Amino acid sequence: MLLAVSVSAAAETVHVAVASNFTGALRLLAQSFEKSGAHQVRISAASTGKLYAQIRHGAPYDLFLAADRARPERLEQEGLAVAGSRFTYALGRLVFWAPGREFEGAANVLLARPDVRRIAIANPRTAPYGLAARQTLEAIGLWQRLQGRLVRGENIGQTFQFIASGAAQMGFVALAQLPEESPRPGYRWLVQPEFYRPIRQQAVLLRRGADNAAAAAFLAYLRSGEARRLIAGQGYGLEDDE
Amino acid sequence: MTEDISALWVTLRLALVSTSILLLLGMPLAWWLVRTGSRLRTVVESLVALPLVLPPTVLGFYLLIALGPDGIIGGLTDHGLAFSFTGLVIGSVLYSLPFVVQPLQNAFSAVSPLILEAAGTLRASALDRFFSIVLPLSRPGLITAATLGFAHTVGEFGVVLMIGGNIPGKTQVLSIAIYDHVEALEYGRAHWLSGGLLLFSFLILFLVYRQNGRRE
Amino acid sequence: MSSIDFRFELERGNFRLETGAVLPGFGVTALFGASGSGKTSLLRCIAGLERARGRLEVNGECWQDSENRLFVPPHRRALGYVFQEAALFPHLRVKANLEYGRRRTPAGARKGSLDHCCDILGIGGLLQRYPHQLSGGERQRVALGRALLNSPRLLLMDEPMAALDRPRKAEILPYLERLHEEADIPVLYVTHDLEELARIADQLALIENGRILKQGPLAEMLASLDLPIARDEDAGAVIETQVIRHDDEYHLTHLGFCGGEILVGRIQRAMGERLKIRIHARDVSLALQPPGETSILNVVKAVVTEMADQGPGRIMVRLDAGGTPLLARITRKSQSRLGLKTGMPVYAQIKSVALSI
């Protein structure tokens, strides 16, 4: 009892800004983190670009879980993040998905079929999964050929919606969006990591959270074995070297 | 930069086409709403006003489904209307409808029935009365409706984001291009476009209000 | 053939119009009644602005026949309609207002010209103005001109002077009186003003509670003691006269009618010209003997034809002066002092005469 009281006296809240695609996974992580300690996690989700802009203009976040490496890196350079705190917490995995399609064969054959009118990808300019999709299409030699049929979602969430609604027949989404426990029917191809540069989703401790005990604790937790198992279970890859 | 210009062009084209359709559709609709005694009136009025209260993403989501190849609208065509310019026009028209119908309704209901009866006794048929009396007397309302419809389409983001698919030269409009620039950290270009859009919108509103103010 | 023949049934809330009549298809017929009696509704039914059940035939042309599902819409009826308020088109200049109906009239059916219309209505100087730049009287004159230039087969006027003050009315009345001469079409004129109708109308139809009570020639109707108008403060007879002599010495004009002669102040009218005069019942007193020394110039021999008690203490006497009806309002005391009975010859002294000039 005494211990519990002393711990809760030191309890703090960490405010995490998270890229949309990782929101589901972060909720699970936060649940298990809050159970084991006394600290609280508050989550704000948006696209990486928006969160970056918000942080630059003084948004009250302690920790930033981005969908890429570029923006945490920039925050570090700009002195808005604690130097050396940046690390890759997950590797995004790209999957090609054509719901409701029975097709025996390789994805590039399916993609090239003339009756396929609309293929959804995330915007390569703004979304890491979009860039990966582009690299994949380039690798299999279809990027130029498919230009007229590509529709671009602003982020990977919207891209998923394009396909799920039937407006686009197929496209590239994040593996995390197609959970194993509730399989959606259709053709899927888990794109080999060789086809695209790794989607390094990096976390960084923001200056505002530098002295926040909860932020430090949560960062440490993210690197723990338990957290890594959870992340992998959500359809993400992990960097081996850590 | 060429992409920005083509976004500007798509936006203007979309706004012009949508505004024309909005007026063609809105005028008879508003006239009917003003004159009818039908019980359907309230239903139709509520439907028209729906986009005022619905978040654009909700409307966009239903439109995405409706315009898709198997949707109730898209199903009528060979390959659906999502991600096409036509689809954008449909979305913009639906979304801006209340902004056009309501000023028209206000203007039409201000036209005295007595004056219309007088025109009726002077050999003017119903259609003739609408064009020779109702429209000229509703000019300020008509201008307001057209401007709001136009400006609202230019400024539209949520619905276009949902059903456009961001295809340069086809469905990528200005607001989306700005959003892309912000997301891609190209703040300079975003500033240019945003500033231009701001100035453009202000100019249009200013001209309309000045015109309406003069007539009073 | 030359008639306005109708029968209408119309219900609007508490109000019910159920009436029919055959009105003359020429001249000015006044529809007279209290407000709420249904005058305006009847006029609107005839115009087709109100869709009643029934039948309507105007000078041989059928405009409505509910049984045969015939309903000619207002814009195909070739009407002239003048509303209480002018109802001019605010966005059009006077000229465009005047020409609105004319431009929509087939060239072959056009009657009258813009210039002539401007002349008789005195609106030639207003053509470039907008309605909001006109006075009430000017507006009403333009409205009348607009209706006439529509080359109507029937002119309907709904209390066109109700919204005007006295001087404005005086400004318009002469134009309305000339309607007979100008328009060879039937005119239905709604009013609840006795003065107005006495000056303008040839025929009178009385309306009460959505029904036409009685109709007939103006002089006869105005002299009917059994009609509500006889009870009006302004009740009186209308007499058709003719200018027979000008007396320059005394500055008088002699007007002749069936029952004798009436003297009025010198007027600028040609010999032989027809003139309608009005003699209020309150301005007529009765005597059994020819009055001797009196300042009253006009004394007419007549016979008492009818008397009606209009209580308290008031009697309305109807006289016949050589075939022309006259009304006199006297006290009950005078009646018993003179021992008045129908058929009795009397001398009617006329204190004043209202002229329509």
Mark yes or no for CB contact B180/A167 under 8 Å: no
pLDDT at position C261 over 70:
yes
Per-residue pLDDT of A83-103, as tens digits, reads: 999 999 999 999 999 987 777
- Among A149, A161, A141, smallest CA distance to A118 is for A149
CA distance to partner chain C, nearest, from residue B121 (Å): 5
Tokens for B44, please give them.
């139709």
Measured between CB atoms, does C80 come within 8 Å of chain B?
A: yes
pTM: 0.77
> How many contacts does A have with B, using Cβ atoms within 8 A?
79
CA distance to partner chain C, nearest, from residue B89 (Å): 35
Report domain extents, chain B.
Answer: 2-215
pLDDT at position A5 over 60:
no
Tokens for B110, please give them.
């201000």
Residue with tokens 């090609």: A96
CATH 3.40.50.300 residue window(s) in chain C: 3-218
CATH 2.40.50.100 residue window(s) in chain C: 236-355
User: What is the average per-residue pLDDT within C333-340?
Assistant: 92
Q: Which residues pair with A98 in a beta bridge?
A: A187
Tokens for A64, please give them.
């930033």
Correct CATH for C3-218 of 3.40.50.300, 3.30.930.10, 3.40.720.10, 3.90.1640.10 = 3.40.50.300
pLDDT given at position A242: 44
- Among B109, B110, B103, B130, smallest CA distance to B119 is for B130
* Test mutation, A80, A116, A118, chain B, max B CBs within 10 A: A118
pLDDT given at position C356: 62
- Among C179, C190, C187, smallest CA distance to C155 is for C187
CA distance to partner chain B, nearest, from residue A68 (Å): 12
Which chains pack against B, by 3+ Cβ pairs within 8 A? A, C
Half-sphere exposure of B181 (CA within 13 A, CB side): 20
**Strand order in A94-98's β-sheet?**
A150-153, A119-122, A170-174, A94-98, A187-190
Measured between CB atoms, does C265 come within 8 Å of chain B?
A: no
pLDDT at position A130 over 70:
yes
Per-residue pLDDT of A103-119, as tens digits, reads: 777 888 888 888 888 99
Mark yes or no for CB contact A166/B68 under 8 Å: yes
CA distance to partner chain B, nearest, from residue A165 (Å): 5
Tokens for A66, please give them.
């981005």
At C118, the amino acid letter reads C
Per-residue pLDDT of C144-192, as tens digits, reads: 999 999 999 999 999 988 878 887 777 778 777 777 666 688 999 999 8
Measured between CB atoms, does C32 come within 8 Å of chain B?
A: no
Helix axes C94-103, C114-121, angle to 10 degrees: 130
Q: What residues of chain B lie within 8 A of the CB of C101, using their CB?
A: 121-123
Does residue C59 come out as left (phi exceeding 0), alpha (psi in the -120 to 50 range) or beta?
A: left
- Residue in B112, B124, B137 closest to C91 by CB: B137
Tokens for C254, please give them.
């002699």
Question: How much of chain B exceeds pLDDT 70, in percent?
Answer: 98
Respond yes or no on whether ipTM tops 0.95. Answer: no
Q: What residues of chain C lie within 8 A of the CB of B122, using their CB?
A: 75, 100-101, 104, 146-147, 150
pLDDT given at position A182: 61
Sign of CA dihedral B36, B40, B46, B51: negative
| Neighbouring C-beta atoms of residue A229, cutoff 10 Å | 10
User: What is the average per-residue pLDDT within C11-25?
Assistant: 90
- Among C197, C237, C202, smallest CA distance to C329 is for C237
DSSP per residue over C143-157, as a string? HHHHHHTT--SEEEE
Which CATH architecture fits B2-215?
A: Orthogonal Bundle (1.10)
pLDDT given at position A181: 65
pLDDT given at position A125: 86
CA distances from B48 to B20, B40, B71, B102 (A): 17, 12, 21, 9
CA distances from C224 to B79, C24, C236, C302, C316 (A): 85, 20, 10, 16, 10
Per-residue pLDDT of B9-22, as tens digits, reads: 999 999 999 999 99
pLDDT at position B164 over 90:
no
pLDDT given at position B215: 58
| Neighbouring C-beta atoms of residue A134, cutoff 10 Å | 20
Name which of A168-177, C89-98, C193-202 the model is least confident about.
C193-202
CATH topology of domain C236-355: OB fold (Dihydrolipoamide Acetyltransferase, E2P) (2.40.50)
pLDDT higher at A7 or B31 = B31
At C263, the amino acid letter reads L
pLDDT given at position B216: 52
Q: What residues of chain B lie within 8 A of the CB of A168, using their CB?
A: 82-83, 165
* Closest B-chain CA to C102: B122
- Residue in A49, A117, A158 closest to B79 by CB: A117
pLDDT given at position A6: 41
**Strand order in C61-65's β-sheet?**
C15-24, C3-12, C53-58, C61-65, C70-71
* Burial of A137 from C-beta contacts in 10 A (0-12 / 13-18 / 19+): buried
* Closest B-chain CA to C151: B122
Ordered domains of chain A (ranges, CATH)? 2-91+199-233 (3.40.190.10), 94-190 (3.40.190.10)
| Neighbouring C-beta atoms of residue B84, cutoff 10 Å | 22
**d(Cα A98, Cα C61) in Å, to the nearest integer?**
74
pLDDT given at position A165: 86
Mark yes or no for CB contact B166/A154 under 8 Å: yes
pLDDT given at position B156: 85
Q: What are phi and psi of A56, to 5 degrees?
A: -60, -25
* Closest B-chain CA to A148: B167
**d(Cα B171, Cα A153) in Å, to the nearest integer?**
12
- SS3 call for B33: helix
